[in-house]
A and B are shown apart, each in its own frame.
Chain A
Amino acid sequence: MSGFEVLQEATWSNIEDLGRYGYNHVGVSNSGAMDEYAYRWSQKLLGNKESNAIEVMLGGLKLKATADVEISVCGADLDFRINQEKKVMWQTYQIRKNDVLGFYGQINGLRAYLSVKEGFKVQKKYNSYSRTYKEQKLKKGDFIPFTPSKSRDIKHVSIPYIPTYSDTLTLHILLGSQEHFFSQSTKEIFFNTNYTLTPHMSPMGYKLQGKVLVTKKGGIISEGIPFGTVQIPPDGQPIILLKERQTIGGYPKIGTVLASDCFALAQLPIGANVQFKEISITDAQNKMKAFYGIFLK
């Protein structure tokens, strides 16, 4: 069988797609690629539709190909090499049988996506290739099958579309209906001070640290949680809920961060600073339509 043998496992790496939808009512978390921007580019370069990719967080993953295959790599610079030779991200490569691919360590950004032409031939569950990190992660000795492919063309993402990952980010936030849990002075603190990424950053959510945000009441009746929700527990430190968030929750929510900003957030390291900026629903929808527009072309 053709595929990649996992020679060495990464801190975190898993097979992901856009996530599992339609199962929230039984408590199944959406999950999916944490940085959809890099994920979607890795798919687009290969012309993949409804496919999947390996999400690599930090470094360490080493794979050996048992057949020729066309791949793409997008996202963080994790010192990606083919047969020890350093390669740039955001483009396709033709891999030969017995080549060794490795992500040797974190240089810039946190998450890289490795896709193969037509996707990895693994099983779907909940109509998706994604699993939460709790359910599954790639381990040494795993075998990830693919269909061999060959291409003479190298395709790459054009420079204006290649992001640089820094350690500051503005998060556009749509204020929600629970805004009234927060006084004017609390909102002023929220919008005018920086919040720092703490080590409590998992695909479920990122806990931030900064000036305490006082809420008027401790909890709400538990309800569904949209992607990017910023909930404020009584300790006053915001939590941004991301791809593997729980389906339902009950801490008050100040608003929802724009999805495309959440994707950028997924590339930020511990200690990075974020600042919140209010956005209107019209602007939020326009920005998201522009985001998806890149990949519909």
Chain B
Amino acid sequence: MKIEIVSADSVMIYLGKMISEKVLDEVQNTYSALKTFEHVIDLTPSYTSILLQYDMLHYDSVNIKEAITKHLSKQHAKYEVKHGKLIEIPVDYTQGLDLQSVADFHNISCQEVIAKHTKQTYRVYAIGFLVGFAYLGKVDVSINTPRLESPRAKIPKGSVAIAESQTAVYPEDSAGGWNILGTTCFDDFHLFEVGDYVRFIDVRI
């Protein structure tokens, strides 16, 4: 575990360097333990880290790290993130704005990108960015693609996109910098919970 100062009133707690199910368990364990840590304003768990915003009138930048470490050392509850439900999402890949550029980036065909994207069963690692936005991993390493040079001002609701080893569905119109592979009519974004499984199915909508 590494705790880093990221703003006048927040620290980032890193539990690992790579996305993995083991780190997911670590993050969720630590997140659960931090719920009883006092004078916290907000907690944001993600793939490998937890952002903790604290009340500056109770901690300074030195004693916050000690207080977190001490608090966590007293917590012994360990659990594995539950194996959640499987959610299947139909995707029309003919509507993917960036499908061709992703294929070009890896020097493969669009069909191969689709095959690689639909082959995996993904896990929900975090909910964030927007309400109902599930961060899924991990994307097949051979189609890992960096985020756009500059984020788009508007990505339509239902866009299915990838960034590096992550994939997700945009639950509403939003600015965003991920590569859009396709679009879905799926609209049950409230179903997503950390630990769930997701598969994408190639269809024409």
Is the beta-carbon distance between B149 and A224 smaller than 8 angstroms? no
Q: How far is the CB of A213 from chain B (nearest CB, A)?
A: 13
Contact of B130 among A30, A246, A285, A289 (CB under 8 A): A246
Is the beta-carbon distance between B61 and A204 smaller than 8 angstroms? no
User: What sequence of 0s and 1s flags, for each residue 29-47 of chain B, a beta carbon within 8 Å of any chain A beta carbon?
Assistant: 0010000000001111111
Query: Which A residues lie within 8 Å of B6 (CB)?
Result: 174, 176-177, 226, 229, 253, 256
Listed in ascending order, the chain B residues whose CB lies under 8 Å from chain A are 4-10, 12, 18-19, 31, 41-51, 53, 56-57, 60-61, 126-133, 135, 146-151, 153, 163-164, 166, 172, 174-175, 177
B12, B53, B60, B128: most-surrounded residue (chain A CB, <10 A): B128
Is the beta-carbon distance between B7 and A237 smaller than 8 angstroms? no
Query: Which B residues lie within 8 Å of A235 (CB)?
Result: 149-150
Query: Which A residues lie within 8 Å of B4 (CB)?
Result: 176-177
Query: Which B residues lie within 8 Å of A249 (CB)?
Result: 129
A-B contact pairs, 12 of them (CB 8 A): A21-B41, A26-B127, A221-B49, A222-B126, A226-B6, A233-B148, A239-B151, A248-B129, A248-B135, A250-B163, A250-B166, A288-B9
User: What sequence of 0s and 1s flags, for each residue 144-179 of chain A, a beta carbon within 8 Å of any chain B beta carbon?
Assistant: 000000000000000000000000000000101100
User: What sequence of 0s and 1s flags, for each residue 175-200 of chain A, a beta carbon within 8 Å of any chain B beta carbon?
Assistant: 01100000000000000000000001
Is the beta-carbon distance between A27 and B150 smaller than 8 angstroms? no
For chain A, residues 12 to 34, give those with C-beta under 8 angstroms from any C-beta of chain B. Answer: 21-30
- The complex places the Cα of A22 from the Cα of B177 at a distance, in Å, of 26
Question: Nearest residue in A to B171 (C-beta to C-beta)?
Answer: A27
Listed in ascending order, the chain A residues whose CB lies under 8 Å from chain B are 21-30, 134, 174, 176-177, 200, 204, 218-219, 221-229, 233-235, 237, 239, 246-251, 253, 256, 258-259, 281-282, 284-285, 287-289, 292
Is the beta-carbon distance between B150 and A234 smaller than 8 angstroms? yes
Is the beta-carbon distance between A222 and B128 smaller than 8 angstroms? yes
Is the beta-carbon distance between A219 and B46 smaller than 8 angstroms? no
Contact of B146 among A177, A219, A227, A288 (CB under 8 A): A219
Query: Which B residues lie within 8 Å of A234 (CB)?
Result: 146-150
Is the beta-carbon distance between B12 and A224 smaller than 8 angstroms? yes
- The complex places the Cα of A204 from the Cα of B129 at a distance, in Å, of 11
